[in-house]
C-alpha cells in the first residue's frame, strides 16, 4: 500500500498531514528516508518509522465513539450527518459502525473494519448484552421489572428475551440490559408498558463500557485490553444470559 495511506491508517494523521510529514523527511522505510507519499510499502514486512517510533501495522482498527443525538449510525446517508463524520483525522475507508443506535440515541458505538468481530457481536445467537440508561415520562414500578424479565410482546414473532430493568432514583430513570437488538427495541419495550422514552444512551456492549471521559461527539481508539476482551467475548458470548 502507499506510504501515506499506511501512516494515516496507523493513526499518524490525516492523509494530507502525513504527506507533509513524509516530504519533510521524518519517515524511514527499512532505514532509508523516503520523501514520496506514493512510495509503495509492504505493510507486513517493511520496517517503517515515523521519527523515532516504529509503526506496527494493524489490519484492524477499533474506535469507541460517544455518539451524540442528531447523527445516523451509517457509513453514508443522503439526508443526515453520519457518525463517520465525527471521526476527525481518521482514515475512515472500510470502517463502519457496529450495529445501529437511533438518530436521537446517544452513547457507545463501536466503529471498526473488523467484519468478523462485528458479525459475532451482532449475532442473535450470541446474546451479547447491551446496557442503556433511559429516562421515561413516568415512574417505573417493580411490576415493570418483572415484565422486562418475563419478555414483552413488541409485535415481533416472539416475545423479547429476558431483559434486566434496574430502576434508579428518581424512578423515571433506569438502566436496561437487553441481549438482542430489534429495531427501536428499548423504546418499543417501554411503549408496551405505557411509557415514552425521553432520553436514551447506550453505556455498554458486552465487555466494552463507554469511557465517561469522552464527551458526546468525542471518540478514542480502543485499548489493547479492550480489544482482547472483545475478542475473548466473541468466543464466549453465548454464555451471557439474563433471568431464566
| Grid cell listed for 221 | 481508539
| Grid cell listed for 201 | 444512551
- Residue 105 as a binder of ligand URA (CB under 6 A): the answer is yes
Degrees (nearest 5) of the Cα angle 147, 152, 154?
Answer: 145
Question: Which is nearer to ligand URA, 104 or 211 (by Cβ)?
Answer: 104
Question: Which is nearer to ligand URA, 1 or 198 (by Cβ)?
Answer: 198
Query: Which of these ranges, 2-10, 98-106, 213-221, 225-233, lies near ligand URA under the rule CB under 6 A?
Result: 98-106
**In the bound complex, what is the minimum distance in angstroms from residue 66's beta carbon to ligand URA?**
14
- Residue 136 as a binder of ligand URA (CB under 6 A): the answer is no
- In the annotation, is 88 catalytic? no
Instruction: Look up cell 507486513; give the residue.
Output: 44
Q: Judged by CB under 6 A, which of 187, 191, 209, 211 binds ligand URA? A: 187
Write 26-34 long-range contacts (CB < 8 A, 24+): 26/50, 26/51, 27/3, 29/3, 34/3
Query: Which of these ranges, 54-62, 87-95, 101-109, 148-156, lies near ligand URA under the rule CB under 6 A?
Result: 101-109
- Residue 191 as a binder of ligand URA (CB under 6 A): the answer is no
**204-218: b (≥16 Cβ within 10 Å) or e:** bbbbbebeeeeeebe
DSSP codes, 154-185:
-SSSSPPPP-EEEE-SSTTEEEEEESS--TTH
The pattern of x and - marking residues 197 through 216 that bind ligand URA according to CB under 6 A reads ---x----------------
Question: Which is nearer to ligand URA, 193 or 221 (by Cβ)?
Answer: 193
Active-site residue (options: 21, 77, 102, 211):
102
- Residue 186 as a binder of ligand URA (CB under 6 A): the answer is yes
Distance CA 155, CA 194 (A): 15
Distance CA 190, CA 36 (A): 57
- Residue 135 as a binder of ligand URA (CB under 6 A): the answer is no
**φ, ψ dihedrals at 126, nearest 5°:** -90, -15
Angle formed by the axes of helices 115-122 and 224-236, nearest 10°: 50
**In the bound complex, what is the minimum distance in angstroms from residue 34's beta carbon to ligand URA?**
45
Query: Which of these ranges, 30-38, 47-55, 178-186, 209-217, lies near ligand URA under the rule CB under 6 A?
Result: 178-186
Residues within the interface to ligand URA (CB under 6 A): 101-102, 105, 184-187, 200
Q: Give the active site residues.
A: 102
Amino acid at each position: 500500500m502507499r506510504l501515506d495511506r499506511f501512516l494515516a491508517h496507523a493513526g499518524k494523521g490525516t492523509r494530507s498531514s502525513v504527506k507533509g510529514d513524509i516530504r519533510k523527511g521524518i519517515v524511514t522505510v527499512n532505514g532509508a528516508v523516503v520523501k514520496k507519499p506514493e512510495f509503495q510499502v509492504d505493510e507486513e514486512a517493511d520496517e517503517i518509522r515515523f521519527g523515532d517510533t516504529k509503526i506496527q501495522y494493524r489490519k484492524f482498527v477499533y474506535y469507541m465513539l460517544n455518539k451524540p443525538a442528531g447523527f445516523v449510525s451509517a457509513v453514508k446517508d443522503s439526508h443526515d450527518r453520519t457518525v463517520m463524520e465525527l471521526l476527525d483525522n481518521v482514515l475512515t475507508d472500510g470502517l463502519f459502525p457496529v450495529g445501529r443506535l437511533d438518530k436521537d440515541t446517544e452513547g457507545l458505538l463501536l466503529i471498526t473494519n473488523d467484519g468478523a468481530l462485528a458479525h459475532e457481536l451482532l449475532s442473535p445467537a450470541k446474546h451479547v448484552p447491551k446496557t442503556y440508561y433511559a429516562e421515561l415520562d413516568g415512574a417505573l414500578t417493580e411490576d415493570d421489572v418483572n415484565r422486562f424479565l418475563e419478555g414483552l410482546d413488541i409485535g415481533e414473532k416472539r416475545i423479547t428475551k429476558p431483559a434486566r430493568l434496574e430502576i434508579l432514583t428518581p424512578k423515571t430513570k433506569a438502566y436496561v440490559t437487553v441481549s438482542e437488538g430489534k429495531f427501536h427495541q428499548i423504546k418499543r419495550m417501554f411503549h408496551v408498558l405505557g411509557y415514552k422514552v425521553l432520553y436514551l444512551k447506550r453505556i455498554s456492549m458486552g465487555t466494552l463500557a463507554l469511557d465517561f471521559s469522552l464527551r458526546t461527539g468525542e471518540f478514542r481508539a480502543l485499548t489493547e485490553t479492550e480489544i482482547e476482551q472483545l475478542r475473548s467475548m466473541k468466543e464466549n458470548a453465548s454464555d451471557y444470559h439474563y433471568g431464566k
